[in-house]
Amino acid sequence: MSKQIALIGLGLIGGSLALAIKSGLPKAQIKGFDIDQNSVKLASTLQIIDEQAESLEDAVRDADIIILAAPVESTIKLIQQLETLPLQAGAIVTDVGSTKETVVVAGNKLQSKGVFFIGGHPMAGSHKTGVEASIERLFENAYYVLTPAEGVPDNKLIQLQNVLKGTKAKFIQLEPASHDRFAGLISHFPHIVASALVHHVAKAGDEDPLITQLAAGGFRDITRIASASPTMWRDILMHNKEQLLPMIQEWNAIMKNVEDMLHTDDDEAIYAFFADAKDVRDNLPSKKKGAMLPFYDLYVDIPDHPGVISDVTAILAKASISITNIRIIEAREGIMGALRLSFRSEEDLTVAKQQLEEHAYEAYDVQ
């Protein structure tokens, strides 16, 4: 008997989950719903879902598995709506949100309906958005955190993992509070810092526009994550503030320590500050998917010659390699420039590097 799956939210994550589920369970029937009916129609046209739902109630009525692929605040509202709807006894409800404590508290109330809530967070994403950007292998080798509500039996966890096996993700079970603390440290707080840096430079740029021009290089790279959805990050901060507030206090203490080292001209302490950070950073796992999106970037030296960019892209297209982003780093007349090419996976990056080097291009990736 095929699994009946309700997919609520048809964006990049929801669509990619649908493709991965269908690859692992070809007989699964996926019924999709989104408040944006154009996304529902597009998902159907692209054969990401098998059936279009006219409403939330229509989508979940016969579902064995209900996947809420929406921002955290919207997910909680959806759970509250599910409390009022007829659901299959023994059904599993899961989500994909970046915070878990508040979501699991809300989801735990569904057990009074004979339904089991298992929080979920697939730690992967893409430079692109929308259901049309869905990728079957988006979650491959990524961590997929599961945070079951209190009282969920092990067989329900196993059942959900079996449905999600097509993601080829690495499943890990955490307490909701532990998830939020870990994600806060390595994902949520860095986004705050990146956005604060952008605000800091923007304010200085109001006084001297040259600063903004100079910030178009390396500064743009280190603050790339600040370009993420403001709605999503508003929800994340509001629902993880208990974890983030102490982190902000600790960060202020670190900055105060740096300030003190500068005031006292303590060059040895300053050196140790950077040396210790370098050692820790150099020993982090390289090119593995975690709570922050990995950047599979390849840099290619290019001569100042008409048609060179189209030549590079043609080489990769011939090798069936998709570029998710391309940026010209330097292109002044008479000098060598550089392209930064972004890829979906380390495998694509490796093949691209090999192909370009075979055509006499100098290509290198920077960890």
pLDDT band at 81 (very low <50, low <70, confident <90, very high): very high
287 falls within a domain? no
101 falls within a domain? yes
> How would you classify the pairing of strands 51-52 and 116-122?
unpaired
pLDDT band at 210 (very low <50, low <70, confident <90, very high): confident
Residue 223, pLDDT score: 85
Q: Among residues 307, 296, 312, 310, which one has the least CA distance to residue 360?
A: 312
* Domain edge (last residue) among 148, 174, 200: 174
User: Residue 128 is part of a domain; what is its CATH number?
Assistant: 3.40.50.720
> How would you classify the pairing of strands 296-302 and 337-343?
antiparallel
290 falls within a domain? no
**311-340: average pLDDT:** 77
Which residues span the domain enclosing 137?
4-174
Residue 332, pLDDT score: 42
Residue 313, pLDDT score: 92
Q: Which residues of 100-136 are buried (b: 16+ CB within 10 A; e: fewer)?
A: bbbbbbbbbebeebebbbbbbbbbbbbeeeebbebbb
Please give the Cα distance from 366 to 51 (Å, whole number).
44
Provide CB contacts within 8 A for 236, sequence distance 6+.
Answer: 72, 98, 99, 188, 191
Residue 227, pLDDT score: 82
271 lies in the same domain as 307 = no
242 lies in the same domain as 343 = no
Residue 105, pLDDT score: 96
Residue 331, pLDDT score: 44
Q: Cite the beta strand spans of the chain per DSSP E.
A: 4-8, 29-33, 51-52, 65-68, 92-95, 116-122, 143-148, 170-173, 296-302, 323-330, 337-343, 362-364
Given a cut of 80, whether residue 286 has pLDDT beyond it is: no
Q: Which residue has the higher pLDDT, 92 or 359?
A: 92
131 lies in the same domain as 209 = no
The gap from C-alpha 284 to its chain's centroid, in whole angstroms, comes to 19
Average pLDDT, the chain: 89
Residue 326, pLDDT score: 85
Residue 352, pLDDT score: 94
Q: Which residues of 175-194 are buried (b: 16+ CB within 10 A; e: fewer)?
A: ebeebbbbbbeebbbebbeb
Question: What percentage of the chain exceeds 70 in pLDDT?
Answer: 92
Please give the Cα distance from 34 to 39 (Å, whole number).
7
Q: What are phi and psi of 16, to 5 degrees?
A: -65, -40
Please give the Cα distance from 142 to 1 (Å, whole number).
29
Q: Are 64 and 92 in contact (CB under 8 A)?
A: yes
Count of domains in the chain?
Answer: 3
Given a cut of 80, whether residue 76 has pLDDT beyond it is: yes
- HSE, side-chain direction, 13 A CA sphere, residue 49: 28
154 lies in the same domain as 244 = no
275 lies in the same domain as 219 = yes
Given a cut of 50, whether residue 335 has pLDDT beyond it is: no
Given a cut of 70, whether residue 334 has pLDDT beyond it is: no
301 lies in the same domain as 276 = no
Q: Are 120 and 96 in contact (CB under 8 A)?
A: yes
Q: Are 236 and 72 in contact (CB under 8 A)?
A: yes
pLDDT band at 215 (very low <50, low <70, confident <90, very high): confident
Crossing angle of helices 101-108 and 230-239, rounded to 10°: 70
> How would you classify the pairing of strands 143-148 and 337-343?
unpaired
* Domain edge (last residue) among 129, 147, 174: 174
**13-20: average pLDDT:** 96
256 falls within a domain? yes
Least confident of 231-245, 253-267, 288-302: 288-302
pLDDT band at 353 (very low <50, low <70, confident <90, very high): very high
Residue 366, pLDDT score: 62
**30-54: average pLDDT:** 95
Q: Are 111 and 117 in contact (CB under 8 A)?
A: yes
